[in-house]
A and B are shown apart, each in its own frame.
Chain A
Amino acid sequence: MDTLLLARLQFATTTSIHFLFVVVTLGLVTLLVGLQTTAVLTGKPVYWRLTRFWGQLYVINYVLGIATGIVMEFQFGLNWSGLSRYVGNVFGAPLAIETLVAFFLESTFLGMWIFGWHRLRKGLHLALLWGVALTAYASAFWIMVANSWLQNPVGYEVRDGIAHLTDFTALLTNPSLGMAFGHVVFAALLVGGMLMAAVSAWHLIRRTPDFVLFRTSLRIGLVTAALSITMVQGFGFAQFGPVGQVQPTKFGGGPEADALVAEWTARFGQGDYTPPVLASVGLGFMILIGFALGTLWLLLPLLWRDWAIRLRFPLWLILLALPLPFVAVILGWIAREVGRQPWVAYGLLPTDQAVSGVAPGVMLASLIGFSLLLGALAVANWVLLARHAARGAADPALGRPPTQPPADTRPVPAFA
């Protein structure tokens, strides 16, 4: 096994795990802002309870988002030192901006939000959540700016073999950025909405006593998911035009792709410049899932007079469909990232020139170690998430008044 393959496997593993958690973070925080704002404005207890319940799930999910995110940030330097050496002048800037102006504040706000219940004024506490959400979106934006630059390098010139920044606005108006950012943001909302609807459906199937609460979150989740899937489809198909133009080899051959390959062969020498078939397979399956989830609209009329809950089978459908958006977002990234190969920065830096000069043994140890560590943490995190989702909204630890002892959730013995 060579270092390149191992480094690529490690990046794919870390990124995939990272993305499964950050889509939930981005989707749920948007819904949470809606819930807490409604709670503050109307003062209705059900919205406060919803905020605490979904907030707790959000905070548990957030942990792995950070953990995997830190690993990714370090991985650029550990495994891909060629990337920072040759294109760091351009590619590093959006990443530095993301950490400084987005993630830094996001986590600071979140810490205050978690510990600010019953301690800060309601308006300030709500403002902190708004801050968390806005910085989360800013974070997603700058990451997409960086990623789009790898897909389609713009605004640079090469001097002494190293890329230098010449035009930052070109990075922001990158044709591979706009539609992709919309696609990712609504995909996150779709995942958040589906998660909310599915957890509510599970409680409604089990006839948990908290009927009003889970009925509300089922409706919010389902409407969010239905609106989002349409936007996801729209932004998704809108990408074919601009991406096909700047990355002709991404979606298979054609005269433009052949011309580009001929040009690369002249500049970089003979080589296989077609991306692996995995990219187009991922794309195909993702589109299938996207169409399947489009049927969410058919469930919306059933919200009238709670037919979705009374008939019960729609609840099962929602519950069983929960894995679909997660599978789709991973397939979407595979299509985007694998479709860029064999380049790390398309047409500028081949992947094999970006990898660090680390021995294969060290890289293998790092791959196995981090995959096991992050995999174990991800599974532990999902188990905790499932348990807390199943436990219901009776008394989440988040937002519990300080002096109140945890409620005893065990059933009361009948013959005490």
Chain B
Amino acid sequence: MELAWYALLGLFFAAYLVLGGYDYGVGLLLARGTDPARRRAALNAVGPFFLGNEVWLVAAVGILFGAFPMLEGELLSGFYPAVVGALVGVILVTAGVQLRSRPAGERSRAGWDRVVVIGSLLAALGWGALLAGLLQGVPLRAGGHVAGVTHLFTPFVAAAGLAVLALVAAHGATFLTLRLPAADAEATGRLARRLVPVALAAVGVATVLGLLSERVRDTVQQPVAGLLAPVLLAGALLLARAALARRRPGLAFAATGTALAALVALVGAALWPYALVSTIDPGASLTVADAAASGPTLRLLGWLTVPLLPALLGFQLMCWWVFRGRTDGRAPVYW
């Protein structure tokens, strides 16, 4: 039962990284557009999905709290700087995207767009750092608390943060290629194709630094899963590039999305059976089973939420279906 909940937690966080990932990717790409109309078109391409994307994060943290209370406290407070950075980013993007078109002046709108860019940057770096931090372990003591915050600042974490940033940017550009009117999609398609090699290089650097780091080698419990991660990421990115070259943005978007989702799945798999590995005391490491809530809580959550999961997914699918296809002049503009 713990495994099922752990998988569900992974599913929600992976869905957030894929869906929220293109929000942040589009947010990052606002930095290069000086044309206000194009910036607004990009945000309204995300439009109806925006609110439905971020809820996956809220739900993931809800599952973390409800089903893995032991892990929740140590994970979030153990990676304080990364979590706070990501959180500030998420909030800036949330507020920036929804409020940027409320003032009428172009200067205030440009100001809010900068807020969105900074927010997207922080969110991508923060989540990348958190995933990397999991792979290099934390100084968790047997008493329960993680000591200090400096353990997070290593070259591997920095490289992984940048790799997720590049992945998210490529993912966002691919999303716009899929969603913007065909005439505008041409330019974003070219941009996405240029961003894919950058992401590949960043993933490569992070892989090398990870292999060189003794902490990462000690922390990773399943080396096969650990090594599979960069291979799968590279494969997905190469597929995305090929699909973009053949004007198949749907396939390319699926590929970049798979890359982000695979990242979560493989970080989880590489640490199995642990959820949080201690670097100073092997006995203090938290296994998934230890971290989970006790039986009655999991059963209750199962009875109350699992029957509703099809409804949750169904309404998200409804949103994607209703607003499918490229944006056009008839689509409502609000952000």
Question: Does B183 belong to the interface (CB within 8 Å)?
Answer: no
Docked Cα-Cα span, A62 to B51, in Å, equals 11
Question: Does B74 belong to the interface (CB within 8 Å)?
Answer: yes
Q: What is the CB-to-nearest-CB distance from B26 to chain A, in angstroms, rounded to a whole number?
A: 15
Contact flags A62-76 to B (C-beta < 8 A → 1, else 0): 111011011101101
Report the contact-size class of chain A (Cβ under 8 Å from the partner): 35 or more
Question: Does B333 belong to the interface (CB within 8 Å)?
Answer: yes
- Residue on A nearest B295 in the bound complex, by CB: A164
- Residue on B nearest A64 in the bound complex, by CB: B95
Question: B77–A100 contact, CB under 8 A?
Answer: no
Q: Which of A24-32, A33-41, A111-119, A306-314 contacts B (4 or more CB under 8 A)?
A: A111-119
Q: Which of A77-85, A179-187, A223-231, A289-297 contacts B (4 or more CB under 8 A)?
A: A77-85
Question: B94–A97 contact, CB under 8 A?
Answer: no
Question: Does B38 belong to the interface (CB within 8 Å)?
Answer: no
Q: What is the CB-to-nearest-CB distance from B75 to chain A, in angstroms, rounded to a whole number?
A: 7
Contacts A89-B293, A111-B51, A402-B332 given; indicate if A100 touches B63 (C-beta within 8 A): yes
Pick the contact of A165: B76, B297, B330 (CB < 8 A): B297
Pick the contact of A108: B52, B62, B73 (CB < 8 A): B52
Q: Which of A269-277, A334-342, A355-363 contacts B (4 or more CB under 8 A)?
A: A355-363
Question: B312–A96 contact, CB under 8 A?
Answer: no
Question: B51–A67 contact, CB under 8 A?
Answer: no
Docked Cα-Cα span, A76 to B87, in Å, equals 13
Pick the contact of B103: A105, A384, A398 (CB < 8 A): A384
Residues of B within 8 A of A97 (CB): 62, 66, 301, 304-305
Question: B332–A77 contact, CB under 8 A?
Answer: no
Residues of B within 8 A of A381 (CB): 95, 99
Docked Cα-Cα span, A134 to B147, in Å, equals 43
For chain A, residues 350 to 389, give those with C-beta under 8 angstroms from any C-beta of chain B. 356-359, 362, 366, 369-370, 373-374, 377, 380-381, 384, 387-388
Contact flags B84-104 to A (C-beta < 8 A → 1, else 0): 100110111011001101111
Residues of A within 8 A of B48 (CB): 111-112, 114-116
Question: B293–A88 contact, CB under 8 A?
Answer: yes
Question: A98–B62 contact, CB under 8 A?
Answer: yes
Question: A108–B77 contact, CB under 8 A?
Answer: no
Question: A85–B69 contact, CB under 8 A?
Answer: yes
Q: What is the CB-to-nearest-CB distance from B68 to chain A, in angstroms, rounded to a whole number?
A: 8
Docked Cα-Cα span, A60 to B67, in Å, equals 33
Question: Does A237 belong to the interface (CB within 8 Å)?
Answer: no
- Residue on A nearest B112 in the bound complex, by CB: A380
Q: Which of B184-192, B260-268, B314-322 contacts A (4 or more CB under 8 A)?
A: B314-322
Pick the contact of A104: B58, B84, B88 (CB < 8 A): B58
- Residue on A nearest B79 in the bound complex, by CB: A78
Question: B145–A88 contact, CB under 8 A?
Answer: no
Question: B145–A81 contact, CB under 8 A?
Answer: yes
Question: B332–A81 contact, CB under 8 A?
Answer: no
Question: Does A235 belong to the interface (CB within 8 Å)?
Answer: no
Pick the contact of B315: A96, A103, A109 (CB < 8 A): A109
Residues of A within 8 A of B49 (CB): 111
Residues of B within 8 A of A59 (CB): 98
Question: A108–B51 contact, CB under 8 A?
Answer: yes
Pick the contact of A79: B64, B77, B92, B297 (CB < 8 A): B77
Pick the contact of A96: B80, B92, B305 (CB < 8 A): B305
Residues of B within 8 A of A62 (CB): 98
Question: Does B144 belong to the interface (CB within 8 Å)?
Answer: yes
Question: A88–B69 contact, CB under 8 A?
Answer: yes
Q: What is the CB-to-nearest-CB distance from A363 to chain B, in angstroms, rounded to a whole number?
A: 9
Question: Does A13 belong to the interface (CB within 8 Å)?
Answer: no
- Residue on B nearest A76 in the bound complex, by CB: B65
Docked Cα-Cα span, A336 to B160, in Å, equals 44
Contacts A64-B95, A377-B95 given; indicate if A96 touches B66 (C-beta within 8 A): yes
Docked Cα-Cα span, A380 to B149, in Å, equals 32
Q: What is the CB-to-nearest-CB distance from B188 to chain A, in angstroms, rounded to a whole number?
A: 21
Q: Is the interface of A mostly helix, strand, loop or mixed?
A: helix
Residues of B within 8 A of A108 (CB): 51-52, 55, 315-316, 319
Residues of B within 8 A of A79 (CB): 77
Question: A373–B88 contact, CB under 8 A?
Answer: yes
Task: Find the residue from B91, B104, B144, B145 having the highest chain A CB count within 10 A.
Answer: B91
Query: How many B residues, CB 8 Å from partner?
Result: 72
Q: What is the CB-to-nearest-CB distance from B330 to chain A, in angstroms, rounded to a whole number?
A: 5
Question: Does B158 belong to the interface (CB within 8 Å)?
Answer: no
Docked Cα-Cα span, A377 to B97, in Å, equals 13
Residues of B within 8 A of A112 (CB): 48, 52, 318-319, 322-323
Contact flags A315-337 to B (C-beta < 8 A → 1, else 0): 00000000000000000000000
Contacts A97-B66, A398-B334 given; indicate if A71 touches B87 (C-beta within 8 A): yes
Q: What is the CB-to-nearest-CB distance from B318 to chain A, in angstroms, rounded to a whole number?
A: 8
Question: Does B231 belong to the interface (CB within 8 Å)?
Answer: no
Pick the contact of B58: A73, A81, A85, A162 (CB < 8 A): A73
Docked Cα-Cα span, A400 to B335, in Å, equals 12
Q: What is the CB-to-nearest-CB distance from A146 to chain B, in angstroms, rounded to a whole number?
A: 10
Residues of B within 8 A of A96 (CB): 62-63, 65-67, 301, 305
Question: B312–A100 contact, CB under 8 A?
Answer: yes
Residues of A within 8 A of B104 (CB): 406
Question: Does B50 belong to the interface (CB within 8 Å)?
Answer: yes
Contact flags A108-146 to B (C-beta < 8 A → 1, else 0): 111110111111100000000000000000000000000
Question: Does B308 belong to the interface (CB within 8 Å)?
Answer: yes
Question: B330–A384 contact, CB under 8 A?
Answer: no
Contacts A70-B90, A165-B300, A356-B145 given; indicate if A402 touches B73 (C-beta within 8 A): no
Question: B149–A362 contact, CB under 8 A?
Answer: yes
- Residue on A nearest B309 in the bound complex, by CB: A100
Contacts A74-B76, A115-B332, A165-B297 given; indicate if A66 touches B94 (C-beta within 8 A): yes
- Residue on B nearest A103 in the bound complex, by CB: B58
Question: Does B146 belong to the interface (CB within 8 Å)?
Answer: yes
Question: B51–A359 contact, CB under 8 A?
Answer: no
Question: B76–A81 contact, CB under 8 A?
Answer: yes
* Residues on A facing B (Cβ under 8 Å): 59-60, 62-64, 66-67, 69-71, 73-74, 76-85, 88-90, 92-93, 95-101, 103-105, 107-112, 114-120, 162, 164-166, 168, 356-359, 362, 366, 369-370, 373-374, 377, 380-381, 384, 387-388, 397-398, 400, 402-403, 406
6 A-B pairs with the lowest CB-CB distances in the bound complex, closest first: A88-B69, A96-B66, A81-B73, A99-B62, A77-B76, A111-B51
7 A-B interface contacts by CB (under 8 A): A70-B54, A100-B62, A103-B59, A111-B319, A165-B296, A374-B91, A388-B102
Q: A108-B315, A381-B99 are in contact. List 19 more A-B contacts (CB 8 A).
A: A64-B95, A71-B87, A92-B69, A93-B66, A93-B297, A96-B66, A97-B62, A100-B305, A107-B54, A107-B55, A118-B332, A119-B331, A119-B332, A164-B294, A164-B296, A359-B148, A380-B99, A397-B101, A406-B104
